[in-house]
Structure 1
Amino acid sequence: MVGFENLVEVPPMRKTTVGYDCPEGVDIRGRYDAEFASILTRDALQFVASLQRQFASHISYAMDCRKEAKLRYNRGALPAFDPATNPLRHADWLCAPPPPALADRRVEITGPVERKMVINALNSGAKVFMADFEDALAPNWENLMRGHINLRDAVRGTISYHDKARNRVYKLNEQTAKLFVRPRGWHLPEAHVLIDGRPTAGCLVDFGLYFFHNWSAFRRNQGQGFGPFFYLPKMEHSREARIWNNVFTAAEKMAGIENGSIRATVLIETLPAVFQMDEILYELREHSVGLNCGRWDYIFSYVKTFQAHPDRLLPDRVLVGMGQHFMRSYSDLLIRTCHRRGVHAMGGMAAQIPIRDDPSANEAALELVRKDKLREVLAGHDGTWAAHPGLIPAIAEVFDAHMGGGPNQIYSAKREDAAGVQAEDLLQTPRGVRSMEGLRLNTRVGIQYVAAWLTGSGSVPLYNLMEDAATAEISRVQNWQWLKYEVELDGDGLGVRVTAELFGRVVEEEMERIEREVGKERFSKGMYREACKIFARQCTAPTLDDFLTLDAYNHIVVHHPLASSRL
C-alpha cells in the first residue's frame, strides 16, 4: 500500500515462505504452518490482493486527507459540520432496515479472537460478540492466523478448546451470540503479507480472509440476513466510509450475493467523525446497522485533535466520563442521528471486571455499571458494550427494565432534544483537576499495557478494569499534553508543574511499583523495560505520534520471537 512501507521495517524483498501457495505478486513473511495454510489459500490471497490493488490508492488519499486536517487543527482550526453536506443532513432518507437477526442488540460483549475467549463470549448470554482484530489484539503473526482459524471454526459451529490445566473442554452452546468482526483501522499495515512488494492494509487482510472463508457458511447455516457482520473502527471522515462501502460491494459481487448482505456498525471514536455521522451513514446506507459510541478512543481523539491548543487540556482521565458536557452531547447527537436514519445507536464500553476477592468492592463496581447503563438506556441507546461476561446479567437487567418491551428504541425513543446540539457543545473543554496521581496512573497503566502488547496480549486486566489500546492511548496522549504545556498539578501536587525532570522521576518510581506489584520474577521475564522505553519516548516526543501501536508494531514484527526469524 502506498505509504505503508514507511511505517514498518520491511527487509529487502525476497521470497521467504516455503509452503504457502501464493499468487503472483503476493509474499507471505510469517512462518509456515499447515493450519495457517488452510486460511492462506491461493484463492483467499488472490481475493485480498484484488482488494488491495483496487483500493490502495483510495486509502492512501484518505490518509493524506487526515494529515491535511491535522495541519489545519494544529494551526488553530476546529472540527465543524461541513456546509457542503448540509442538504444531506437535513434531507429525509433512511438506511436499509436492520435484518431481523439483529433487531435486538441490547448487550454486546467484545474481546480478542483468542480461542477460549471466542467460545466464552459466544456462550455469554450477550446478543452480540464483537471479535476484535483491532484494539484488543496484539497483531503478531500467531495471533492473527489463529484468530482466523478460531472464527472459521466458530462460524461452522465446530470450535472447541481443551483447557488442560482445568481438564475442561469448552464448546458452543445451542444458542449463541451473533458474531461481528472488527478489522483493524485504515492506518495499520500488515507487514507479514506483502502485495507487489508493499505491506498490505491490515483491515483488508482481516476483512478479506474472514469474508472469503465464511460468507458461504453464514448463508448455508443461517440464510440471508444473518451475516457476515462487522464493526468498523477509527474513521475520521465519510470518504473512509465510502471506501468500506465499495469494499463490501466488491466482496458481494465476488461471492455472487445480494447487495446489502454485509452489514456493519461504525464506531464513532474520533472527534472529526462526530461531525460526519449523517454522511457516514449515508455512504453505508445499504450496509449500515448503526453507530457506536467508542468513547475511550473518542477521548484519545479529543487530545490528539487539539494537541496544539493549550486551552483544551484534559483533567485526570478518570474524570472524563459521560457526565462531561462534550461527551453527553456526543452521545445525544449519535442517538438522534441513528434513530432518524432507522438504525441502532449503540452505547459505550463498561470496562469493569469482577473483583472476586472483595464482594463489597465488586458490588460497588457493579453499581457504577448499572448507573452508566441506566443513563444510556434512558437517553435512547438500543444496546451497549461489556468487556467481561460477568457484567452481562446486570446490564441486561437494566436494559430489559427500560426498553419498553421492544427489541430496540429506534422508533420509540427519538431524541428530538438533541437537535439543539451545536458544534460548541461537542467541543467544550472537559472540567476537573489534574493531579499527580493522574500522572502516575497514566504512566503505570501505559507501561504495563505496552509490556503485555509486546508479548502478545492486547486486552489486559489492570486495577479492576479491562485495558486495551484505546485506554493506553489516553494515558499516552494525556501525559504528552501535560508535558508539552508543563501543566500545573492540582491537589497534592499544588504548585508542581509537569516537566521532563518530574516525568523522569515518576517513570522510575512507577517502574519500581510495577515490579513490586507483579513480582521480581515476572518483571524480569516480561518486557517491562522495553515497554517503558517505548511509552516514555512517546510521551516526551517533540511531535505527538498519531498512534502508539504504529511505533510498537515494529517491535513485534521485527523483534518478536514469533516473527523476527521469518522476515
Structure 2
Amino acid sequence: MDRTHTGGHEVKLSLQAALTPEQASILSKDALQFLEKLVQRFASRVPELLATREQRQAAIDEGQLPDFLPETASIRQEGWKIQSIPKDLQDRRVEITGPVERKMVINALNADVKVFMADFEDSFSPAWDEVIEGHRNLRDAVNGTISYTQPETGKHYELAEDPAVLICRVRGLHLPEKHLFWQGEPIPGCLMDFALYFFHNHRQLLEKGSGPYFYIPKLQAYQEAAWWSDVFSFAEDEFGLARGTIKATVLIETLPAVFEMDEILYSLKEHIVGLNCGRWDYIFSYIKTLRNHPDRILPDRQVVTMEKPFLNAYSRLLVKTCHRRGAFAMGGMAAFIPSKEPEQNAWVLNKIQTDKSLEANNGHDGTWVAHPGLAGTAMAVFDAVLGERSNQLDVMRHEDAPISAAELLAPCEGERTEEGMRHNIRVAVQYIEAWISGNGCVPIYGLMEDAATAEISRASIWQWIRHGQSLSNGKVVTKALFEQMLSEEMQVLEQELGEAHFAKGRYDEAAVLMAQLTTSDELVNFLTLPGYEYLP
C-alpha cells in the first residue's frame, strides 16, 4: 500500500486508487494531511457508536419500545438556546436537494430557492471518481468558476448572479470509503466528505459572507451528535476559526433520534442551526426499528403520508423542540417531479400545495423540493404564511399538549395491497439498478426516488414476510410469493423499459440484491452497504 508524503510529514493514509491531475488537486497533500488528522482522532470512535446502535436495537427487538431518556430529562427541561444562526441562513423557506453532478449543481444553485443541499448521501451513489468529481464541482461552485457544456447539444450552463446558499450533506456514519485506509481499515466516508469540503472551501465561503455549512444525516443518538461537535471544533481550532464558524443542520430521519432532539441540539449547540424532517428515511427507520413488533407494521408506502398520526406528531414535536431552542425546523422532501401532461402536472402541483401548506401551518421554517420546477409552488405557500417574516422561529406551539412516545410510535392504518407490493418491487429494483450503476437520484413513475424510498420498499416487504401478513386480497406474503412477484415484475420492467435498455442495464444483478435483502433472515441495516460492493 502506497503512503503519501506531505513535506516532512508522512501521511499514513493509504490510497487505493491512482489519481488523475484533476483528482490530485482535490486530494492534495495538504488536504490529505488534514483528513489524516481527523481520522487519527475520530475514526476509532465510529465503530463504538455503531455498536451502540446495535445494542439498542437488540433491546427493541426483545420488546422494549423507544422512549425519551430519563437520564437526560434535565436537558429537556432547562431553558438553554443554541448559539446563533448566520445571516445567510436566516431565510431557508425553500431548499432544493440533489447530487453533486456538475450540471445539477449549476441548475440547483440557479433555481428559485434559498438553499441548495449538495448531496453525497441518499441521492448519490458514491463511486470513487464521482465522489472526487463532486468535491471538484463544489469547489468550483464556491469559487464561482463552475460551468458545463452539454456534449450532445452544446448547451452551456453557468452560475447566475445570486446563487442559492450552499450546504454540503456528507455521508452517514455507517458508510465507509473503501479507497482510503487507515491502519488497515477503510476510513469513514463522512470524515472524507467533511474534510474535503471544509478544507477547500471554508476561506472562500467566509470571505463571501457565508460559511462552511453541513447537513448531517442518519444520526440515531445524541452521542453521535457530540462526536460531530468534536470534529467541528477540532477543524475550527486547526484553522484558527472562532467556535461556531461551522454550522450544521441535522436530519431527524431515524426513529431513535426523534426521542433525543433536545439532546442532539444541546450536544451541537455551538454549531447547530436546525433540525430537518427527513420523512422518507424516518418511515424506513420506523419499519427497521420496530421490525419485531407485529402490531406496528406499515401499510403500502403510498398511503403513509404526513397526515398519519405518527408522522404528524413527529413534525409538530420537531417544530416545538427547535423553536424553543432558537433553532430552525425544516420540513421534508417533496419527491414529485413536474409532468409534461397538463392534467397530471396540475395534480402534482396540487399535491405539493397540500403537503407544503401542512408543513407551513405546523410552523416549519422551510421545506425541500427535488426539482426546480416545483420551487415556485413551494415558495408561494411559504411566502403566504411567512408574510414579512424570514422564518417562523416565533411559532412556539405553546398550545400543544405534550407529545408522548405512544403518539410517535402509533400504528398506522391502511391497506397492504398486491399492487402496492408489486409497485414496491419495481421501484426498488429500478433504484438499486441505478445505484449500482453509479446514479443515486432517479425519476421513477413521476417521483424523484433516492435511497430512502427504495429502503422503505424492500424493508416493508421483509417485514410483511417476517410476520406473515395478508394482502387485501387475502394472499399471505411469503418468501415464495415475493420471489414469484419479483420474477413477474422483472418481465413487466423489461416491457416498460424496452428489451434493449433492459439488456444494457444491471437489472438482473439488482434483482438478485433485492431478493437477498428482502428474504434474508436478518434485516440488513442499509441496502447501500452491500450495494457499495458493486461500485468501482
Report the TM range for the smaller structure's normalisation: over 0.9
Please name the residue that 2:92 is paired with: 105
> In structure 2, the residue corresponding to 1:434 is in which secondary structure?
coil
- Per-residue CA deviations over 1:193-237 (Å, capped at 9, x if unaligned) read 1122210000000001111111111122x13xx111100000000
Whether the 8 Å contact between 1:336 and 1:419 is mirrored in structure 2 is no
Normalised by the size of structure 1, how large is the TM-score?
A: 0.93
Pairwise CA distance, 1:264:
0.5
Q: Does 1:244 align with 2:228?
A: yes
- Per-residue CA deviations over 1:515-535 (Å, capped at 9, x if unaligned) read 111111111010000000001
Q: Does 1:395 align with 2:367?
A: no
Equivalent AA in structure 1 for residue 133 of structure 2? R
Equivalent AA in structure 1 for residue 388 of structure 2? G
2: CA distance, partners of 1:274 / 1:555? 33
Whether the 8 Å contact between 1:20 and 1:28 is mirrored in structure 2 is no
Pairwise CA distance, 1:22:
9.6
- Per-residue CA deviations over 1:513-565 (Å, capped at 9, x if unaligned) read 11111111111010000000001110000010111100111111xxxxxx3xx
- Per-residue CA deviations over 1:237-279 (Å, capped at 9, x if unaligned) read 0000000001000011111111100101000000000000000
> In structure 2, the residue corresponding to 1:63 is in which secondary structure?
helix
Please name the residue that 1:380 is paired with: 363
Matches within 5 A, 1:208-219: 208-219=195-206
Structure-2 change in CA distance of 1:19 and 1:160 (3 Å): farther
Whether the 8 Å contact between 1:17 and 1:31 is mirrored in structure 2 is no
Please name the residue that 2:108 is paired with: 121
2: CA distance, partners of 1:384 / 1:536? 35
Matches within 5 A, 1:71-110: 71-110=58-97
Please name the residue that 1:478 is paired with: 460
Please name the residue that 1:264 is paired with: 248
Pairwise CA distance, 1:121:
0.2
Please name the residue that 1:336 is paired with: 320
- Per-residue CA deviations over 1:492-529 (Å, capped at 9, x if unaligned) read xx221011221111001110111111111111010000
Residue 325 of structure 1, aligned match among 292, 309, 324: 309
Matches within 5 A, 1:61-80: 61-80=48-67
Q: Does 1:457 align with 2:439?
A: yes
- Per-residue CA deviations over 1:18-41 (Å, capped at 9, x if unaligned) read 999994321211232110000011
Q: Does 1:439 align with 2:404?
A: no
- Per-residue CA deviations over 1:286-320 (Å, capped at 9, x if unaligned) read 11110000000000000100111111111000111
Structure 1 portions without partners, runs of 5+: 1-13, 557-562
1: CA distance, partners of 2:11 / 2:278? 39
Matches within 5 A, 1:189-228: 189-220=176-207, 222-223=208-209, 226-228=210-212
Equivalent AA in structure 1 for residue 131 of structure 2? L
Q: Does 1:536 align with 2:515?
A: yes
Q: Does 1:148 align with 2:135?
A: yes
2: CA distance, partners of 1:511 / 1:138? 23
Please name the residue that 2:348 is paired with: 365
More off after superposition, 121-130 vs 96-105: 96-105
> In structure 2, the residue corresponding to 1:230 is in which secondary structure?
strand
Equivalent AA in structure 2 for residue 448 of structure 1? Q
Structure-2 change in CA distance of 1:243 and 1:448 (3 Å): same
Structure-2 change in CA distance of 1:54 and 1:108 (3 Å): same
Equivalent AA in structure 2 for residue 452 of structure 1? A
Please name the residue that 2:149 is paired with: 162
Whether the 8 Å contact between 1:20 and 1:32 is mirrored in structure 2 is no
Matches within 5 A, 1:177-192: 177-192=164-179
2: CA distance, partners of 1:209 / 1:284? 21
Q: Does 1:353 align with 2:337?
A: yes
Structure-2 change in CA distance of 1:219 and 1:478 (3 Å): same
Structure 2 portions without partners, runs of 5+: none
Residue 136 of structure 1, aligned match among 120, 123, 128: 123
Q: Does 1:50 align with 2:6?
A: no
Equivalent AA in structure 2 for residue 543 of structure 1? E
2: CA distance, partners of 1:472 / 1:17? 38
Please name the residue that 1:499 is paired with: 478
Matches within 5 A, 1:259-338: 259-338=243-322
> In structure 2, the residue corresponding to 1:433 is in which secondary structure?
coil
Number of residue-to-residue matches in the alignment: 536
2: CA distance, partners of 1:29 / 1:21? 22
Whether the 8 Å contact between 1:109 and 1:386 is mirrored in structure 2 is yes
Please name the residue that 1:24 is paired with: 11
Structure-2 change in CA distance of 1:276 and 1:75 (3 Å): same
Residue 553 of structure 1, aligned match among 529, 532, 536: 532
2: CA distance, partners of 1:320 / 1:138? 26
Pairwise CA distance, 1:43:
1.2
Structure-2 change in CA distance of 1:519 and 1:416 (3 Å): same
> In structure 1, the residue corresponding to 2:276 is in which secondary structure?
strand
Whether the 8 Å contact between 2:6 and 2:29 is mirrored in structure 1 is no
1: CA distance, partners of 2:524 / 2:533? 14
Whether the 8 Å contact between 1:17 and 1:30 is mirrored in structure 2 is no
Q: Does 1:254 align with 2:241?
A: no
- Per-residue CA deviations over 1:466-489 (Å, capped at 9, x if unaligned) read 000011100010010011112110
Pairwise CA distance, 1:405:
1.5
1: CA distance, partners of 2:413 / 2:223? 33
Whether the 8 Å contact between 1:139 and 1:456 is mirrored in structure 2 is yes
Please name the residue that 1:415 is paired with: 397
Whether the 8 Å contact between 1:333 and 1:418 is mirrored in structure 2 is no
1: CA distance, partners of 2:380 / 2:393? 20
Please name the residue that 1:33 is paired with: 20
Equivalent AA in structure 1 for residue 222 of structure 2? S
> In structure 1, the residue corresponding to 2:85 is in which secondary structure?
coil
Q: What is the root-mean-square deviation in Å for CA atoms of aligned residues?
A: 1.5
Whether the 8 Å contact between 1:20 and 1:41 is mirrored in structure 2 is no
- Per-residue CA deviations over 1:431-471 (Å, capped at 9, x if unaligned) read 10000011101100000000000111000000000000011
